[in-house]
């Protein structure tokens, strides 16, 4: 765990979050500044800075994070209306917390392309 990493501290239970789902590899919790009626972040328990820092050994973990995002979306009732899973990578793409996370957004119509 990285002590100065916000999401490591949420995973460790040191900072409160509304946890939606957790398992041995991942934790999903509500975004504090939701951009849609449902806005959940799915993070690995392990600290990985960004998608760009994931390596071949992380392939199964990356797939797991996407499957958790889908499972949470389905459980929250978004499978028919649709939802979006997004990974912002690098500050220029809007990444502000440097612990890999999948945004899962649902509950409203989503525009394409994103801003």
- Residue 94 Ramachandran class (φ > 0 left, ψ -120 to 50 alpha, else beta): left
Minimum distance of ligand 5GP from residue 64's CB (angstroms)? 19
Minimum distance of ligand 5GP from residue 28's CB (angstroms)? 10
Question: Binding to Zn ion (CB under 5 A): which residues in 6-35?
Answer: 7-8
Q: Is 110 one of the binding residues for ligand 5GP (CB under 6 A)? A: no
**Of residues 63, 90, 94, 114, which one binds ligand 5GP by CB under 6 A?**
94
Torsion sign, CA atoms 47, 52, 57, 63: positive
Q: Is 97 one of the binding residues for ligand 5GP (CB under 6 A)? A: yes
d(CA 30, CA 74): 15
**Is 47 part of the annotated catalytic residue set?**
no
């Amino acid at each position: 765990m990285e002590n100065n990493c916000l999401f490591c501290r949420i995973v460790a239970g040191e900072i409160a979050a509304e946890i939606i789902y957790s398992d041995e590899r991942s934790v999903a919790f509500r975004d504090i500044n939701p951009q849609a009626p449902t806005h959940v972040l799915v993070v690995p328990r392990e600290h990985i800075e960004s998608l760009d820092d994931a390596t071949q050994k992380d392939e199964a973990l990356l797939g797991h994070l996407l499957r958790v995002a889908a499972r949470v979306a389905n459980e929250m009732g978004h499978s028919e209306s649709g939802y979006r899973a997004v990974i912002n990578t690098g500050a220029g793409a809007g990444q502000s917390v440097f612990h890999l996370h999948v945004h899962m957004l649902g509950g409203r119509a989503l525009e394409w392309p994103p801003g």
